Structure 1
Amino acid sequence: MQAVFIQQTGGPTEIQLGELAMPYVASHDVLIKVKAVAVNHVDTFIRGGSFKTQLTFPFIIGRDAVGTVIETGSAVDQFKKGDLVWTNSMGYAGRQGVTSEYAAVPVARVYKVPTAVDPLKLVAAVHSAATATILLADVLQARTGATILVEGAAGHVGRKLVQLAHDMGLTVITTSSQCDFASLTELGSAAPYDYHEDFAAELAAKYPQGIDHIIDTSGQVALQTNLDLLAQHGTVAVITAPATDQFSFQVRDFYTTDKNIRGFVISHATLSQLQHAAQTLNHEFSQGRLLEDKLAVNAFAYAATAHQLLATTSMKEKIVLVPTADEIDPDFMV
């Protein structure tokens, strides 16, 4: 089968497109014919070796895929041939990736695509949407009535956070460019602020008791700024790093106000967390929500270029790869 793989970690030039053997289908596996895969920043970290995880070479890259079931293991009865399914936790922790014509996926990591949902839009959304879901439900343990500040809310994760937090009954505050105010308000932002302005001073005046939860999706807001805005017992969730990879903060003020800093990457989410997130996502997807990402679709042969683009540019489109150029909808082409 055709697959996109590396023989060692390194730069995008390590990525190869070539023939590999068909995957072995164990008793608890589902074999899918891959329709599309999403390309995420974390894929570049794994390919480059900066995110340490167990890899077996040749290693097929990519973690999120949508495809059609063509075979099931002997112990699998939840799925049947012809089912359209998705997965979002392959390609790390000893599991081969999914940028290949066929992929064998443990049944516990497979979920059905809801009826009438565009599979390419779904696979583009699952990484950021699952990240947002687990952040809200498990990391922050957010509850109805709380306030949450989403900084850089117009990005992929930010938009999912806004929608999901609004659905949970939180008061959602956002920062973005003014051009994104209208769309973020439609998604659920109760108070959009321009991150080019001194939004921290405005928020401190409007919320003197502080904000319960803060998530900076950009890594461009000083940690001390967010801690100053945080309510007592509140939590700042760190899901990215500043360009310097350094933050500083006033330690005494931090611990004497019982505030919290939590780091999170979805690669360390438990299987249970991923499964619960998938239930939430499929409910949202079936309602036509969380699917607003603009897509840039190309063939598997574009994989190295896609990794280079993610490392060097700020793409607003979500990159999705399909096995061959013949399968690209012209409306989605790069």
Structure 2
Amino acid sequence: MKAAYILKTGDADQIQIGEIPMPKINDNEILVKVIAVSVNNVDTFVRSGGFKTEMEFPFVVGRDAVGTIESLGKQVKDFKKGDLVWTNSMGYDGRQGVTSEYISVPESRAYPVPFDVDPKQVVASVHSAATAVILLNDVLHVRSGQSILVEGAAGHVGDKILEYAAQKGLEVSTTSNPRDFDRLKKLGSEKCFDYHDENLTDKILDDKSIGFDYVVDTSGQVQLQNNIDMIGLHGSVGLITTPKSGGSNFNVGKLYTSSKSIKGFVISHASSEQLKEASKILNESFEKGKLLEKSFESLSFDKIAQIHQKLEHGQVKTKVVLTFQ
């Protein structure tokens, strides 16, 4: 079968397109004929060796896929041949990736594609949407009526955090380019701030003098101390990317004397139980047209090396989906 794989970690030019053996399935696995895969920044971290994880070479790249079940292991109970399924946790921790014509997936890491939802749109959405759901529910433990500031809210992850926070009844404020204000308000942002403003932190604090319950920076362009300053008593900063200047300088006293906290999260460390619970929320939302990428670019899977290279140079703005069919 055709696949995109590497023989060692390194630059994007390490990705090869070629023939590798068909995967074999264990009793608790399903064999999936892949329709499409999405490409995420984290895929470049794994491929380059920047994110240290167990892998066996040749290593198929990619983690998120959607496809049709071709066959099932003896212990699989919840699926049948022909079912459309998605997965978003392959390609790390010793599991082979998904950019191949066929993949073997543990039943516990496969989820049904909701009826009448475009499978490509699903796979374009699952990485950022699952990140938002697990971050808010399991890491920050947000509650209705609380307040959150989402910085860089117009991006793939940012708008999912905004949308899901609004669904949960939080008071949401956002920072973005002014051209995105109207779209963000439709997703649930009650107040929008221009992230170009040199006095942005002061303006936000003038508006929210008691501070937010939560601040999440999706851009990596904000100093950690600024975000600590913008949370109130018992507030939390959610880190899903490295803060500006690495976050090395901040006032520890201000942090602990106000019972504030910093909580980091990457979806690669989410448990299978967290992913399964998130999948239920995602599928319920997808059926209602929520938490979905509204636009994405669909390309042939053999373009994967070019997409990896462009991602690493910040040249990809639209979500990219690679197809086999």
Shorter-chain TM band: over 0.9
Does residue 1:102 correspond to 2:102, yes or no? yes
- Determine what percentage of the aligned residue pairs are the same residue: 51
One-letter amino acid matched to 1:189: S
Q: How far has the Cα of 1:77 moved from its partner?
A: 1.7
Unmatched tracts of structure 2, length 5 or more: none
Distance 1:86 1:96, change over 3 A: same
**Which residue pairs with 1:272 in the alignment?**
273
Written as runs of structure 1 = structure 2, the 5 A alignment for 1:136-175 is: 136-175=136-175
**Paired residue total:** 324
Contact between 1:156 and 1:293, CA under 8 Å: does it hold in 2? Answer: no
**Which residue pairs with 2:82 in the alignment?**
82
Written as runs of structure 1 = structure 2, the 5 A alignment for 1:17-28 is: 17-28=17-28
Q: CA RMSD in A?
A: 1.0
Superposed CA deviations along residues 193-230 of structure 1, whole A, max 9, x for unmatched, are 11111221122112211100000000101111111111
Contact between 2:124 and 2:293, CA under 8 Å: does it hold in 1? Answer: no
**Which residue pairs with 2:13 in the alignment?**
13
Q: How far has the Cα of 1:90 moved from its partner?
A: 0.2
**Which residue pairs with 2:223 in the alignment?**
222
Q: How far has the Cα of 1:294 moved from its partner?
A: 2.0
Does residue 1:298 correspond to 2:303, yes or no? no
Moved over 4 A (4+): none
Match of 1:234, SS? Answer: strand
Does residue 1:286 correspond to 2:293, yes or no? no
Mean Cα displacement is larger for which, 306-315 or 40-49?
306-315
Mean Cα displacement is larger for which, 200-209 or 277-286?
200-209
Superposed CA deviations along residues 246-273 of structure 1, whole A, max 9, x for unmatched, are 4310111111111100111000001111
Superposed CA deviations along residues 74-127 of structure 1, whole A, max 9, x for unmatched, are 011211111111000000000000100000000000000000101111100000
Match of 2:246, SS? Answer: coil
Match of 2:57, SS? Answer: coil
Contact between 2:224 and 2:244, CA under 8 Å: does it hold in 1? Answer: no
Measured in 2, the distance between the counterparts of 1:320 and 1:205 equals: 42
Q: How far has the Cα of 1:241 moved from its partner?
A: 1.4
Q: How far has the Cα of 1:244 moved from its partner?
A: 4.3
One-letter amino acid matched to 1:70: E
Q: How far has the Cα of 1:293 moved from its partner?
A: 3.8
Does residue 1:72 correspond to 2:72, yes or no? yes
Measured in 2, the distance between the counterparts of 1:227 and 1:245 equals: 14
Q: TM-score, normalised to structure 2's length?
A: 0.98
Measured in 2, the distance between the counterparts of 1:201 and 1:95 equals: 46
Measured in 1, the distance between the counterparts of 2:311 and 2:2 equals: 23
Contact between 2:223 and 2:244, CA under 8 Å: does it hold in 1? Answer: no
Measured in 2, the distance between the counterparts of 1:321 and 1:196 equals: 34
Unmatched tracts of structure 1, length 5 or more: 328-334
One-letter amino acid matched to 1:152: G
Written as runs of structure 1 = structure 2, the 5 A alignment for 1:299-314 is: 299-314=300-315
**Which residue pairs with 1:58 in the alignment?**
58
Contact between 1:124 and 1:293, CA under 8 Å: does it hold in 2? Answer: no
**Which residue pairs with 2:43 in the alignment?**
43
